[in-house]
Amino acid sequence: MPLLLLSILLLVLVLRFVRTRRHRLAVALPLAVFVAFLVLQAMGCGGGGSGPSAATGTPAGTYTVAVTGTSGSITHTTALTLIVN
């Protein structure tokens, strides 16, 4: 996007300060084509997709999770049950 804005600014400056019509066209036409190219590139970078994607993650079910805690030389482990709906 910054490149597009700088290109448009350059195009405006060229059209303002180039003296003859012939020079104006010779300088502005390639720059105008470049600006059009940038606009088309920006339009082509849209998100889009084919609707919502399938849900991902952990399948529904019951899982056993082991949790271990350690402090110094003492270790304690316990089992927890995790239910995913």
Q: Is residue 67 part of a domain?
A: no
Q: What pLDDT sits at residue 21?
A: 76
Q: Is residue 34 part of a domain?
A: yes
Report DSSP state, residue 23.
H
Q: Is residue 56 part of a domain?
A: no
Show the domain range for 14. 2-44
DSSP 36-82: HHHHHHHHHT----SSPPPP-SSPSEEEEEEEEEEETTEEEEEEEEE
* pLDDT, tens only, 39-54: 777 777 666 566 666 6
Q: How far from each other are the two terminal CA atoms of the chain, in whole angstroms?
A: 44
Q: Is residue 18 part of a domain?
A: yes
Q: Is residue 21 part of a domain?
A: yes
Cα–Cα distance for residue pair 10/28, rounded to 1 Å: 9
* pLDDT, tens only, 21-33: 777 777 778 877 8
Q: Is residue 60 part of a domain?
A: no
Q: Is residue 15 part of a domain?
A: yes
Please check the confidence at residue 18 and state whether its pLDDT lies above 80: no
Q: How many domains does the chain have?
A: 1
Q: Is residue 33 part of a domain?
A: yes
Cα–Cα distance for residue pair 11/40, rounded to 1 Å: 17
